[in-house]
Structure 1
């Protein structure tokens, strides 16, 4: 079920998109299969995380990621891939992490819904 986003929310997401890197669900699957080293971060709400997530992901919800990221991942050059429900909140979080000095941040377009729809493995 696609979520209807408000015009104001879409406006700020579209403003950050040119300034961040994005990848597809298939890109992430390929990187996992290739054994690439990166940190997969789920920025969804706790209830969304509890209902199912991508294997190997860590949870840093959008409400706390800026506060907690440096204690969890102090290396500002660490490769990070963020995902949310559909790729909107993760885009905003990626922009903020870049502003904090993280240099290798990617938002997964399509998010968890795209992962699930493509048959990606889910754990609880």
Structure 2
């Protein structure tokens, strides 16, 4: 995807403040603790087209509004993913500003999950 320079500046600034993890690290976290949340922050149409097995959905557009309702404990460990790892960096930064400290942005996002053979649910 061809991203605009302004968007890339925002993402690069956010990445300075958030922890990014690989698919392998995400898999290990999820296996170690089933309470860890895998959170898809893409658009609803992207979620419907296919998402990681075991993921929950909370789109970037409503994340700040609904995050505390869905996960009232700011110590909840959350791995966020988008299509390629850009929007999830932004959502992780927003969550951190809301007091969440155990949030991670998945490097490569959904595309990395698919490439790694993660089970995908359609629809």
Select which of 89, 92, 101 maps to 2:90. Answer: 92
Distance in structure 2 (CA, Å) of the matches to 1:4 and 1:42? 21
Corresponding residue number in structure 2 for 1:38? 36
DSSP 3-state at the match of 2:80: strand
Q: Is the 8 A contact 2:92 2:104 kept in 1?
A: yes
**How many pairs align?**
122
Distance in structure 2 (CA, Å) of the matches to 1:22 and 1:46? 23
Give unmatched runs, 5+ long, in structure 2: none
Corresponding residue number in structure 2 for 1:27? 25
Alpha-carbon shift at residue 32 of structure 1 (Å): 3.0
Deviations 1:69-92 (A, max 9, x none): 111100001101100000000000
Alpha-carbon shift at residue 35 of structure 1 (Å): 4.3
Q: Is the 8 A contact 2:53 2:118 kept in 1?
A: no
Distance in structure 2 (CA, Å) of the matches to 1:35 and 1:104? 13
DSSP 3-state at the match of 1:64: helix
Instruction: Flag the 1:77–1:34 CA change in 2: closer, same or farther, 3 A.
Output: closer
DSSP 3-state at the match of 2:121: coil
What TM-score, normalized by structure 1, do the two folds share?
Answer: 0.93
Select which of 51, 66, 69 maps to 1:53. Answer: 51
Q: RMSD between aligned alpha carbons?
A: 1.1
Give unmatched runs, 5+ long, in structure 1: none
Is 1:102 paired with 2:92? no
What TM-score, normalized by structure 2, do the two folds share?
Answer: 0.94
